[in-house]
Structures are given as C-alpha cells and as structure tokens.
C-alpha cells in the first residue's frame, strides 16, 4: 500500500468523523476489526486533518492477513460474504485491484454473481465505518473452468505407428491429460502416458508417439483430460488415421532400390529401411544400422523389432524380383539357388520368457503364458516363407504373422490374403484365410 493511498484514506476517514459533529469532550470507540487490535479511544485532536497524523493518533486502517477464497467455476452462481467485527456495521468496498468479470461486492460485504472467464484475480477489500476507519485485506480468487481440448490430425503415420498432437487449455486448474486410440472395430481404447498440465489459461501443446499398430488398419483417437472439477474424463473430438499398406510400401521401396545390383537367387538380397530403426549383423561385420539401401548375403541377421525393412529377392533365371516388408522381429534370411525358390525368414534370438530356478546353472523353466516370445510380421507380393520353431507359413501376397510364444507354441495369424501353414509337429499342412489363425503346439518339455 503506497503512502499516497494511505493519506487519501486517512483524509476520507477524518472528514467523515468531522461530519458527525461530536459534542465537546466526546470520544469515539475504535471498533475491533476482524483479526485486528483491541479497541482504543481516539483523542479529539485526531478528528481534524493533520498531515501527517500526530504520533499519538491510531492508524485509520488495519491490514488483515491475506485471504484466498474458494475457487469459483465459470458459469456457476458464486457467493461469499465478508465479515467484520466492527460496530456499528461496516461498509465494504473494493480498493486496489479488480473483481473477476461477472462478480460484484455490495456494501454489506456480499461478493456475488456468475463469473464469466477463467483466471486469477487479486483485489483489496475495505471494511470501513464513519467512526474510525476499519480493515483492509488482500484477497485472491481463482475462477476455474473445465479444460478445453483441441485435437490435430495424426502425423508421421507409417506401417505401425503415428504421432498424435493436441492442445489443452487447463481453465486455471491443474489438469491431467492423455491420448486414447483404438482400431475402428476394436476393444477398449489404449492410452498414452498421463501428462500433468499446470494451472493456467493458455493452451498447452501435448504430443505422443504411438507404436505397435497393425498395418493397413483404420484407428480412431482422441485427447482426454480430468481436473479437480470432477473425476470423469472430458474428451476432444475423435480423429481417424489409417496405417500404411505394406504392399504399397514394399513396391515403392523396390523402385527406390533400383540403383543397386539385382539380387541373385541363393546368394544375395537387396534390403532397405522403411521406417523406425533397423540393424543388420552380416558375416564378420559389426552390428550396423541400416540407413540406406544395400545388398547383403545370406549370412545376415536382421533386427526389425523397432522398425520395418523391405527385402527384395530374385525369382531366378528370369531376372524378375519379388519384394516384401517385414517388421516387429529379429530374423535370419535364406534362399536356395534356382528358379522360383522361396525367400525364407526364420525367427532368431531368444523368446525372452525363460526363468531359471536354483540360481546359476539351475534347471530351465519356461513360462506357460502365451505372451512374450519372438515374432515377425510380413507383407508382400511374391514367394516368401516365414518360419518359427514348430511351423512355417508360405505366402503369395498377404499380411501375416508368425510368433514363437512362451507357452511352447507357434502362432500364425492372417490379416489379408491366404497362408499355407506347415505344422512341423503334426507333419501336416493347413490353409488359413484372412481373419483366421492357427497354433502349432508342442509340449513344454520338448522345447529346444
């Protein structure tokens, strides 16, 4: 509070006291404000204007402790009554600062109205009477609103992932926000990690990368948030995305790869990264990241667990080639020499579901859960085979999965086209169509 404002308040107070025309020798009671000092007598010479006041005169205004009011929701009627211990009754008014839009303070101390916009307001409430002054109190009030959510179109959509972007306007209250996404005809939504958005009134940008999507599939997504106004989530509008078609990606990649020498059946493949991170380990070479098209020999192992790789193989003496995309797994590549020979991708690495009992060197045990294990998705046009521990799938242009699972089985699943599965255990073949799956089983004690 500046000295100038204090002087103005003292002048107004003392002018009001003079207007009362108290009889000679009379004394006024100094009311006890809420939280203020006990009553004192005001000497007569303090009624007249002095600048500054004589030292023996009491201060006209007593500052109370700062007050933070309960939050006021936008669009909802709000009322709060300020109190004073003064007698006679005090008259309330606003000193420094401004009330939130939509609220007013009457002379009886009732703060009332319907707030119209979120924000934080600070103002001074004066409680005065015509005798001696009164109290002043710095008051803070937060006007809050439900978070406003805005969703942007999906970005960087590829075979198995996308970037989601949106904005949260928190409405001057702390907010938690996240993205949800699900296949168009799928089960409950998956959700990204929850992000805390601090109190404020300006939009805050959120982004999240999602992975593990199925290729050539439509997904819906939205932005969700909760705040202190209630436990139920609020949602943005729903957006849609469609992951890339592996067949189209493979064809495009094959065109790009034309600068390489043609692959040779039984000797070489041409490979190229499509998205994500792909690494190779060939012959005596160290592990290297695949950053551009290259030709590799059959002794290469490819890690596409976090990316997608396009593989082009020869059909033999005709000079024709075939191209397919693979992702989600670690695998070895192979092909016999000759015409129209299958390009074979065999799952490699550990299932990553082994448990050992009895410490070092203990007996090996395997989880019976169907989760975990090792897997490989493939899609393309041509004569390809993917092989697991207990079966192999031969395809002619489709989207399919082969997975060695922790329960000792090999799963085959077809999303598009037709697959012929060879069951190594039953020594038989079965044809599965789009939407179908097949499991080649083996007893756990027979696992390699």
The domains of the chain, with CATH numbers, are 3-144 (2.60.40.10), 148-242 (2.60.40.10), 246-446 (no CATH)
Instruction: List, for residues 78-111, the tens digit of each pLDDT value.
Output: 999 987 654 456 788 898 889 999 999 998 889 9
CA dihedral sign of residues 368, 373, 377, 378? negative
Alpha carbons 196 and 202: distance in angstroms, whole number = 15
Tokens 């982004």 — which residue? 207
CA dihedral sign of residues 364, 369, 372, 375? positive
Alpha carbons 208 and 180: distance in angstroms, whole number = 10
Alpha carbons 139 and 126: distance in angstroms, whole number = 10
Taking alpha carbons only, the member of 235, 232, 119, 101 closest to residue 173 is: 119
Please state the pTM of the whole predicted model: 0.49
Query: For position 253, what pLDDT does the model report?
Result: 54
Query: For position 112, what pLDDT does the model report?
Result: 92
Contact between 348 and 301 (Cβ < 8 Å): yes
Give alpha helix (H) positions in 196-343.
246-256
Give strand ranges (E) for 15-90.
28-29, 41-42, 61-63, 67-68, 72-73, 78-81
CA dihedral sign of residues 404, 409, 410, 411? negative
Paired residues of 151 in beta bridges: 166
Contact between 420 and 384 (Cβ < 8 Å): no
Q: How many CB atoms lie within 10 A of CB 51?
A: 7
3-class SS shares of the chain: helix, strand, coil, % to 5: 10, 50, 45
Q: How many CB atoms lie within 10 A of CB 441?
A: 16
Give strand ranges (E) for 244-349.
268-282, 288-289, 294-297, 300-314, 321-327, 330-335, 343-347
Task: Determine which helix (DSSP H) or strand (DSSP E) holds 16, and give its type and residue range.
Answer: helix 3-19
Q: How many CB atoms lie within 10 A of CB 142?
A: 20
DSSP secondary structure string for all residues of 76-128? S-EEEE-----SS--EEEEEEE-PPTTEEE-TTSEEEE---S-EEEEEEEEEE
Q: What is the dihedral of CA 231, 232, 238, 243, to 10 degrees?
A: 60
Q: What is the dihedral of CA 332, 333, 336, 342, to 10 degrees?
A: 110
Alpha carbons 169 and 198: distance in angstroms, whole number = 10
Alpha carbons 237 and 123: distance in angstroms, whole number = 38
Q: How many CB atoms lie within 10 A of CB 138?
A: 18
Angle at Cα 438 formed by Cα 433 and Cα 440, nearest 5°?
150
Contact between 115 and 172 (Cβ < 8 Å): no
Tokens 């090792």 — which residue? 374
Q: How many CB atoms lie within 10 A of CB 31?
A: 22
| Ranges in the chain, pLDDT < 50 | 1-51, 53, 86-87, 356-371, 444-448
Angle at Cα 376 formed by Cα 421 and Cα 275, nearest 5°?
140
Query: For position 303, what pLDDT does the model report?
Result: 94
Alpha carbons 240 and 238: distance in angstroms, whole number = 7
Query: For position 13, what pLDDT does the model report?
Result: 42
Output the six-digit token pair for 298. Answer: 């059959």
């Amino acid at each position: 509070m500046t000295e100038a404002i204090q002087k103005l308040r003292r002048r107004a107070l003392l002018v009001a006291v003079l207007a009362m025309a108290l009889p000679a020798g009379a004394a006024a009671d100094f009311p006890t404000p809420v939280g203020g000092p006990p009553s004192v007598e005001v000497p007569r010479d303090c009624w007249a204007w002095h600048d500054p006041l004589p030292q023996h005169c009491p201060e006209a205004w007593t500052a109370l402790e700062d007050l933070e009011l309960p939050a006021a929701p936008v669009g909802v009627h709000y009322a709060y009554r300020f109190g004073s211990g003064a007698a006679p009754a005090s008259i309330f008014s606003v000193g420094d600062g401004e009330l939130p839009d939509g609220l007013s303070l009457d002379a009886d101390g009732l703060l009332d109205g319907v707030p119209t916009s979120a924000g934080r307001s600070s103002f001074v409430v004066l409680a005065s009477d015509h005798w001696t002054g009164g109290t002043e109190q710095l008051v803070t009030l937060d006007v809050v609103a439900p978070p406003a959510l805005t969703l942007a179109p999906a970005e960087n959509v590829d075979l198995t992932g996308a970037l989601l972007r949106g904005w949260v306007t928190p409405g001057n209250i702390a907010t938690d926000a996240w993205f949800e996404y699900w296949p168009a005809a799928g089960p409950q939504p998956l959700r990204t990690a929850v992000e805390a958005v601090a109190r404020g009134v300006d939009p805050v940008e959120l982004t999240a990368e999602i992975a593990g999507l199925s290729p050539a599939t439509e997904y819906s997504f939205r932005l969700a948030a909760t705040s202190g106004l209630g436990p139920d989530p609020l949602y943005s509008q729903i957006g849609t995305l469609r992951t890339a078609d592996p067949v189209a990606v493979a064809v495009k990649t094959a065109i790009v790869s034309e600068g390489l020498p043609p692959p040779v059946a039984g000797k070489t493949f041409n490979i190229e990264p499509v998205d994500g991170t792909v690494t190779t380990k060939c012959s005596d070479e160290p592990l290297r990241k695949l950053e551009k098209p290259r030709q590799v020999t059959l002794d290469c192992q490819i890690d596409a667990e976090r990316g997608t790789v396009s593989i082009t193989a020869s059909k033999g003496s005709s000079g024709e080639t075939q191209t397919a995309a693979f992702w989600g797994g670690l695998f070895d590549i192979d092909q016999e020499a000759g015409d129209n020979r299958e390009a074979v991708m065999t799952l490699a690495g550990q299932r990553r579901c082994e448990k050992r009992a009895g410490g070092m060197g203990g007996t090996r045990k395997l989880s019976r859960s169907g989760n975990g294990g090792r897997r490989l998705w493939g899609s393309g046009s041509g004569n390809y085979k993917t092989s697991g521990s207990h079966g192999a799938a031969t395809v002619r242009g489709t989207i399919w999965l082969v997975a060695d699972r922790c329960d000792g089985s090999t799963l085959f699943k077809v999303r598009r086209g037709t697959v012929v599965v060879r069951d190594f255990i039953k020594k038989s073949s079965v044809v599965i169509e789009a939407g179908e799956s097949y499991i080649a089983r083996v007893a756990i004690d027979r696992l390699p």
